[in-house]
Amino acid sequence: MIGSASSLIKKVLLLTVAALFFVFQAAVGTAAAAEFDVETRTVKANPAGDTMVLSVKQAVKGRKLFGSTCSQCHAKGVTKTDPNVGLDAEALANATPPRDSIESLVDYLKNPTTYDGEYEIAELHPSMKSTDIYPKMRNLSDDDLTEISSYVLIAPKILGNRWGTGKTKF
Protein backbone atom coordinates (compact mmCIF):
# COMPACT_ATOMS: atom_id res chain seq x y z
CA MET A 1 0.00 0.00 0.00
CA ILE A 2 2.63 2.52 1.16
CA GLY A 3 4.85 1.49 -1.74
CA SER A 4 2.26 2.17 -4.39
CA ALA A 5 1.23 5.46 -2.75
CA SER A 6 4.78 6.72 -2.84
CA SER A 7 5.22 5.64 -6.45
CA LEU A 8 2.04 7.52 -7.29
CA ILE A 9 3.44 10.62 -5.59
CA LYS A 10 6.62 10.19 -7.61
CA LYS A 11 4.62 10.00 -10.83
CA VAL A 12 2.65 13.11 -9.93
CA LEU A 13 5.86 14.95 -9.09
CA LEU A 14 7.46 13.92 -12.38
CA LEU A 15 4.40 15.00 -14.32
CA THR A 16 4.39 18.35 -12.51
CA VAL A 17 8.06 18.91 -13.33
CA ALA A 18 7.45 17.97 -16.96
CA ALA A 19 4.46 20.31 -17.17
CA LEU A 20 6.41 23.19 -15.59
CA PHE A 21 9.25 22.59 -18.03
CA PHE A 22 6.83 22.71 -20.94
CA VAL A 23 5.24 25.94 -19.70
CA PHE A 24 8.71 27.45 -19.23
CA GLN A 25 9.77 26.50 -22.77
CA ALA A 26 6.57 27.94 -24.19
CA ALA A 27 7.13 31.17 -22.24
CA VAL A 28 10.69 31.46 -23.55
CA GLY A 29 9.40 30.90 -27.08
CA THR A 30 6.74 33.55 -26.66
CA ALA A 31 9.27 36.02 -25.26
CA ALA A 32 11.59 35.43 -28.24
CA ALA A 33 8.70 35.85 -30.67
CA ALA A 34 7.77 39.16 -29.03
CA GLU A 35 11.35 40.42 -29.02
CA PHE A 36 12.02 39.41 -32.62
CA ASP A 37 8.87 40.68 -34.30
CA VAL A 38 8.59 40.59 -38.10
CA GLU A 39 9.86 44.15 -38.54
CA THR A 40 12.90 43.43 -36.39
CA ARG A 41 13.60 40.24 -38.33
CA THR A 42 13.42 41.99 -41.69
CA VAL A 43 16.94 42.92 -42.76
CA LYS A 44 18.81 44.11 -45.83
CA ALA A 45 19.76 41.02 -47.84
CA ASN A 46 22.22 42.47 -50.36
CA PRO A 47 23.78 45.74 -51.56
CA ALA A 48 20.95 46.16 -54.10
CA GLY A 49 18.62 46.69 -51.14
CA ASP A 50 16.49 43.55 -51.31
CA THR A 51 15.22 42.51 -47.91
CA MET A 52 14.82 39.13 -46.27
CA VAL A 53 12.86 37.97 -43.25
CA LEU A 54 14.56 35.65 -40.78
CA SER A 55 12.50 33.22 -38.73
CA VAL A 56 12.39 33.68 -34.94
CA LYS A 57 14.44 30.50 -34.67
CA GLN A 58 17.13 31.87 -36.98
CA ALA A 59 17.25 35.18 -35.09
CA VAL A 60 17.61 33.39 -31.75
CA LYS A 61 20.36 31.17 -33.15
CA GLY A 62 22.15 34.16 -34.68
CA ARG A 63 22.26 35.91 -31.31
CA LYS A 64 23.57 32.77 -29.64
CA LEU A 65 26.27 32.19 -32.27
CA PHE A 66 27.28 35.86 -32.19
CA GLY A 67 27.64 35.52 -28.42
CA SER A 68 29.87 32.48 -28.62
CA THR A 69 31.90 33.47 -31.71
CA CYS A 70 32.13 37.26 -31.89
CA SER A 71 31.24 38.92 -28.58
CA GLN A 72 34.70 38.33 -27.14
CA CYS A 73 35.73 41.32 -29.34
CA HIS A 74 32.38 42.77 -30.43
CA ALA A 75 30.16 42.67 -27.32
CA LYS A 76 27.36 45.23 -27.73
CA GLY A 77 28.53 46.06 -31.26
CA VAL A 78 31.80 47.76 -30.42
CA THR A 79 35.22 46.51 -31.52
CA LYS A 80 37.34 46.25 -28.38
CA THR A 81 40.70 46.18 -30.12
CA ASP A 82 39.79 48.87 -32.67
CA PRO A 83 37.00 51.16 -31.43
CA ASN A 84 37.10 53.06 -34.75
CA VAL A 85 35.60 50.12 -36.63
CA GLY A 86 32.35 49.37 -34.81
CA LEU A 87 29.42 47.20 -35.88
CA ASP A 88 26.87 50.02 -35.69
CA ALA A 89 24.75 50.64 -38.78
CA GLU A 90 26.61 53.81 -39.74
CA ALA A 91 30.06 52.21 -39.56
CA LEU A 92 28.87 49.24 -41.62
CA ALA A 93 27.23 51.44 -44.26
CA ASN A 94 30.34 53.62 -44.65
CA ALA A 95 32.82 50.75 -45.05
CA THR A 96 34.32 49.92 -48.44
CA PRO A 97 32.55 47.91 -49.68
CA PRO A 98 29.51 48.68 -47.47
CA ARG A 99 28.98 45.89 -44.93
CA ASP A 100 25.38 46.65 -44.03
CA SER A 101 23.67 43.67 -45.67
CA ILE A 102 23.60 39.93 -45.02
CA GLU A 103 25.45 39.21 -48.26
CA SER A 104 28.28 41.65 -47.56
CA LEU A 105 28.62 40.54 -43.93
CA VAL A 106 28.81 36.87 -44.91
CA ASP A 107 31.40 37.91 -47.49
CA TYR A 108 33.35 39.65 -44.70
CA LEU A 109 33.36 36.46 -42.65
CA LYS A 110 34.71 34.56 -45.65
CA ASN A 111 37.26 37.19 -46.64
CA PRO A 112 37.60 40.07 -44.16
CA THR A 113 39.21 43.29 -45.41
CA THR A 114 40.34 46.54 -43.83
CA TYR A 115 37.72 49.27 -43.47
CA ASP A 116 38.92 50.92 -46.68
CA GLY A 117 38.74 47.60 -48.53
CA GLU A 118 42.45 47.79 -49.43
CA TYR A 119 43.81 44.76 -47.62
CA GLU A 120 42.69 41.23 -46.82
CA ILE A 121 43.01 40.59 -43.09
CA ALA A 122 42.05 36.92 -42.68
CA GLU A 123 45.14 36.38 -40.48
CA LEU A 124 43.96 39.19 -38.19
CA HIS A 125 40.20 38.61 -38.20
CA PRO A 126 38.26 35.35 -37.65
CA SER A 127 37.14 34.01 -41.03
CA MET A 128 36.43 30.87 -43.01
CA LYS A 129 39.86 31.37 -44.57
CA SER A 130 41.61 31.31 -41.22
CA THR A 131 39.92 28.50 -39.29
CA ASP A 132 43.38 27.17 -38.37
CA ILE A 133 44.03 30.31 -36.28
CA TYR A 134 40.39 30.84 -35.27
CA PRO A 135 38.99 27.39 -34.39
CA LYS A 136 35.59 28.85 -33.38
CA MET A 137 34.96 29.48 -37.09
CA ARG A 138 35.66 25.86 -37.98
CA ASN A 139 32.20 24.34 -37.77
CA LEU A 140 30.13 27.23 -39.11
CA SER A 141 27.87 26.45 -42.07
CA ASP A 142 26.65 29.04 -44.58
CA ASP A 143 23.36 29.12 -42.66
CA ASP A 144 25.26 29.86 -39.46
CA LEU A 145 27.09 32.74 -41.18
CA THR A 146 23.76 34.13 -42.40
CA GLU A 147 22.30 33.90 -38.90
CA ILE A 148 25.34 35.53 -37.22
CA SER A 149 25.23 38.32 -39.82
CA SER A 150 21.52 38.80 -39.27
CA TYR A 151 22.16 39.43 -35.59
CA VAL A 152 24.61 42.22 -36.47
CA LEU A 153 21.75 43.92 -38.35
CA ILE A 154 19.00 43.00 -35.87
CA ALA A 155 20.81 43.92 -32.64
CA PRO A 156 20.72 47.72 -33.11
CA LYS A 157 16.94 47.52 -33.64
CA ILE A 158 16.57 45.86 -30.25
CA LEU A 159 19.34 47.57 -28.32
CA GLY A 160 19.20 51.06 -29.90
CA ASN A 161 22.05 53.23 -28.58
CA ARG A 162 23.34 50.39 -26.47
CA TRP A 163 24.62 48.77 -29.70
CA GLY A 164 27.88 50.20 -31.08
CA THR A 165 29.08 53.73 -30.44
CA GLY A 166 26.28 55.26 -32.47
CA LYS A 167 28.88 57.18 -34.44
CA THR A 168 32.03 56.49 -36.42
CA LYS A 169 35.17 58.50 -36.94
CA PHE A 170 35.27 57.87 -40.64
Residues of this chain that bind ligand HEC (CB under 6 A)? 69-70, 72-74, 79, 81-82, 85-87, 91-92, 95, 99, 105, 108-109, 114-115, 121, 125-126, 148, 152
Spatial distance between the Cα atoms of 78 and 88, rounded to a whole number of angstroms = 8
Spatial distance between the Cα atoms of 120 and 116, rounded to a whole number of angstroms = 10
Instruction: Give the nearer residue to ligand HEC in terms of CB position, either 29 or 97.
Output: 97
What is the nearest approach in angstroms of ligand HEC to the Cβ of residue 82? 4
Residue closest to 153 by CA, chosen among 65, 62, 80, 68: 62
Residue nearest to ligand HEC (CB): 70
- The number of CA neighbours under 13 Å toward the Cβ of 35 is 17
Spatial distance between the Cα atoms of 164 and 120, rounded to a whole number of angstroms = 23
What is the nearest approach in angstroms of ligand HEC to the Cβ of residue 108? 5
What is the nearest approach in angstroms of ligand HEC to the Cβ of residue 65? 8
